[in-house]
Structure formats: C-alpha cells, structure tokens
Amino acid sequence: PYGPREQLSLQEALDKANARIAYLEGNLELVKKLEQHERSVKNDKRNDLSKQGRFRLINQIIRENQLAGMVNHLCDLAGVSKSGYYYWLNSSDKRAERDRNDWEDFQLLYRIFLDKKKCGIDEIKMALETE
C-alpha cells in the first residue's frame, strides 16, 4: 500500500526512534552510575568518580549504543568538558605506553625485591647500577 518514498520515510522514522531509545537508555545508565557515585560521596565514602572514570563511562555508552553524535550531551550530563573528553580519547596511545612502562618498572622492582629480600632505595639503586 505504501510507495518506496513512504517506506523510506517510515524506515527513517524507525531508525530515528531506535536511535532515540538507545540514547535514552545510555543516558539512564550514565545517570544511574553517576548517582551511585554521588551517593557514595554524600555518605562520606570518598569513592568519587574521577574525570577519567567519567570519560570511560561516556566512551562505553557511546560505543555500546552507537551514539557518536551525543558526545556533547553526555559530557554535559557527566559534568566534564567536551574538549577534555576528546583529549582523553586521543591520548589513549600515550596512556597505554605509560601503563606499559609502569608495569615494566614494577616488574623490575619486584624482581629486585625477590632477589634481595629487601626493598630500600639503596638496594634498588645498587641493583640498577649493576644491570
């Protein structure tokens, strides 16, 4: 009964409705997580969600629900800047490299601790100088 033009507009309307549903579900999830962290702060648990944690939440919601066009709204909702979110997103390679270097340093210090059975600055310095 519908021509190709009407079917396309119905399909577009359906796509828009699905995007809106995913957006609202993403908002609800973010609000719930932020409220949970707010309650823990109000109850003096000092478990506040850091900016990096908020950026991770926003990124997770955007990826799970394909909400690429909703970054501004989600950032406003989370109380972070959009530029901060994009900076965080673009510096993931640097973060991964820093984490990898930190892990290598930890492994080195742990190995020194296991060898010397001590973990003072002098033991670490001498072990590093001998390597």
CA 59, CA 64: separation in Å to the nearest integer? 9
Answer yes or no: are the C-beta atoms of 47 and 40 closer than 8 Å.
Answer: yes
Residues 66 and 123 occupy one common structural domain: no
Closest CA to 8 of 22, 19, 67, 16: 16
Same domain assignment for residues 40 and 72: yes
Same domain flag for 5 and 26: yes
> What residues contact residue 125 under an 8 Å CB cut-off, 6+ apart?
none
* Domain that residue 68 falls in: 1-90
Q: Are residues 73 and 103 in the same domain?
A: no
CA atoms within 13 A on the CB side of 43: 8
- Alpha-carbon gap, residue 28 to 97, rounded angstroms: 33
- State whether 77 and 107 are in the same domain: no
Q: How far apart are the first and last CA of the chain?
A: 81
One domain for residues 63 and 101: no
pTM for the full predicted model = 0.51
Q: Looking at the structure, do residues 26 and 67 belong to the same domain, yes or no?
A: yes
Together in a domain, 120 and 105: yes
What pLDDT was estimated at residue 89?
92
pLDDT tens per residue across all 131 residues of the chain: 455 555 567 877 787 777 778 767 777 777 777 777 667 655 555 546 788 888 888 888 788 877 777 788 878 877 889 999 999 999 989 989 999 999 998 888 888 888 877 777 787 777 777 77
